[in-house]
């Protein structure tokens, strides 16, 4: 086995538990999207080209007839604005990878494979094989489970009855635990959560995500002390 195959296999092994967790979430999303009137092809197309769970769930919540496509586009931009910083952070680790692959790598950058790549880069240089070992199975799982959800999901009845609707929140809590560095992280998360929950109640649209992010950032900046290693 050559080294890119080994790297790909390592990525696949790392992402396997995420695939198991993402499958019911994809099924759920496909079911909800079909419930809003999207046909199976449209469900697949959105998962294949947007490929962003949080944005897709928010979009289905905002979705109505007639389809507010400008609002949906702006909402996707707001929910996904975090990618700008994730990409900026990941770009530090792409030195050893041919630039021609960078656009495709960015297309496939999701919360989970981004987090794994960042963690990997702490120990060993990030390779194309490892990254695709994470990202391609994620893309295949997400698109497949979405379209299966759209086709058969409704025959299972209400997904909330099985608690599947909570799987997405539970997965995010797991990812958040990986960001924990101490009480200051708690302050950032607490302030972000309160700001987002209040904004969701009192501000229209999907602004609550950006508001929570900005409040968390401000708290982190205020708690920073000069001269410490960040």
Partner 1 sequence: MSATILAIIGMALATYATRASGLYLMRGVTVTGRLKAALDALPPAILMAVIAPTILTTGIAETIAAALTAVAAFMRLPLVVTILIGVVSVVLLRLVLS
* Residues between 65 and 124 with contacts to partner 1, criterion CB under 8 A: 66-70, 72-77, 79-91, 94, 102-103, 106-107, 109, 111
Nearer to partner 1, 1 or 95 (CB): 95
Nearer to partner 1, 148 or 188 (CB): 188
DSSP states of 69-110 as a string? HHHHHHHHHHHTTHHHHHHHHHGGG-TTS-GGGHHHHHHT--
**Site size for partner 1 (CB under 8 A):** 95
Closest CB 128 distance from partner 1, rounded Å: 15
Q: Interface residues for partner 1 in 166-185 (CB under 8 A)?
A: 166-177, 179-180, 185
CB 130, CB 8: distance < 8 Å: yes
Query: Which value, to the nearest 10 degrees, does the dihedral of the CA atoms of residues 93, 50, 179, 20 take?
Result: -110
204 binds partner 1 (CB under 8 A): no
Site for partner 1 in 27-46 (CB under 8 A): 37-38, 42, 45-46
Q: Is residue 145 part of the contact set for partner 1 (CB under 8 A)?
A: no
CA angle 141, 29, 159 (to 5 degrees): 115
Contact 165, 159 (CB under 8 A): yes
CB of 4 to partner 1, least distance (A): 22
Q: Which two tokens stand for residue 51?
A: 């490929």
Which residue from 27, 55, 126, 147 is in contact with partner 1, where contact means CB under 8 A? 55
The yes or no reply on residue 203 touching partner 1 (CB under 8 A) is no
DSSP-derived letter for residue 178 is: T
Task: List C-alpha distances in Å: 154 to 36, 54, 59, 144.
Answer: 12, 21, 19, 16
Q: Considering the rule CB under 8 A, would residue 144 count as an interface residue with partner 1?
A: no
CB 126 within 8 A of CB 117: yes
Any contact of residue 205 with partner 1 (CB under 8 A)? no
192 binding partner 1? (CB under 8 A)? yes
Query: CB of 77: closest distance to partner 1 in angstroms?
Result: 4
Nearer to partner 1, 13 or 67 (CB): 67
């Amino acid at each position: 086995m050559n080294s890119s195959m080994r790297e790909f296999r390592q990525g696949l092994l790392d992402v396997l538990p995420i695939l198991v967790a993402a499958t019911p979430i994809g099924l759920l999303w496909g079911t909800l999207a079909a419930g809003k009137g999207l046909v199976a092809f449209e469900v697949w197309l959105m998962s294949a080209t947007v490929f962003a769970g949080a944005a897709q769930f928010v979009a289905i919540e905002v979705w109505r007839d007639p389809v507010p496509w400008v609002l949906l586009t702006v909402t996707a931009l707001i929910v996904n604005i975090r990618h700008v910083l994730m990409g900026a952070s990941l770009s530090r680790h792409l030195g050893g990878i041919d630039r021609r692959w960078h656009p495709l790598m960015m297309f496939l950058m999701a919360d989970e494979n981004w987090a794994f790549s960042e963690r990997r880069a702490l120990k060993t240089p990030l390779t194309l094989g490892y990254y695709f070992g994470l990202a391609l199975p994620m893309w295949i799982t997400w698109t497949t489970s979405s379209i299966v959800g759209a086709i058969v999901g409704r025959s299972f009845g209400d997904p909330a009855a099985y608690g599947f609707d909570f799987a997405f929140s539970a997965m995010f809590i797991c990812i958040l635990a990986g960001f924990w560095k101490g009480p200051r992280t708690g302050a950032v998360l607490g302030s972000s959560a309160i700001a987002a929950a209040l904004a969701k109640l009192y501000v229209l649209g999907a602004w609550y995500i950006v508001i929570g992010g900005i409040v968390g950032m401000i708290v982190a900046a205020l708690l920073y002390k000069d001269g410490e290693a960040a």
